[in-house]
Amino acid sequence: MKPYLMMTTALLLTACGEPTPTQTAPTDTVESLVTDPERRRELREQCRLNRVAVGEELCNRVAEATNRAFLGDGEVPYTPPEKPPAF
């Protein structure tokens, strides 16, 4: 009776593991999503509809890529005025 109990306990413990998101591709990095607006748009829609199924990490990468595509690198180039200010 003990082997069955141990096997059942082991089976239950392995079945309770956290599932991995199946839609996360290793090629979906922030940089690749910045350069591929169609894939970014598709993933944004999936994240909007079912964020849990897509995965929190991938949705965060999509959001970061969207910010970078919209805002750029965040640095504003300095352009000096044509004439210096008069004091």
Number of Cβ within 10 Å of residue 58's Cβ equals 19
Decide if pLDDT at 55 tops 80: yes
**Alpha helices (runs of H) in the chain, residue ranges in sequence order:** 2-15, 30-35, 37-49, 51-54, 56-71
The predicted pLDDT at position 1 comes to 59
Higher pLDDT, 77 or 51: 51
Decide if pLDDT at 13 tops 80: no
Yes or no: say if 54 and 21 are a contact pair by the CB < 8 Å rule: yes
Yes or no: say if 29 and 36 are a contact pair by the CB < 8 Å rule: no
Higher pLDDT, 75 or 58: 58
Decide if pLDDT at 23 tops 80: no
The predicted pLDDT at position 60 comes to 95
- Over range 46-72, report the average pLDDT: 92
The residue ranges of every structural domain in the chain are 23-72
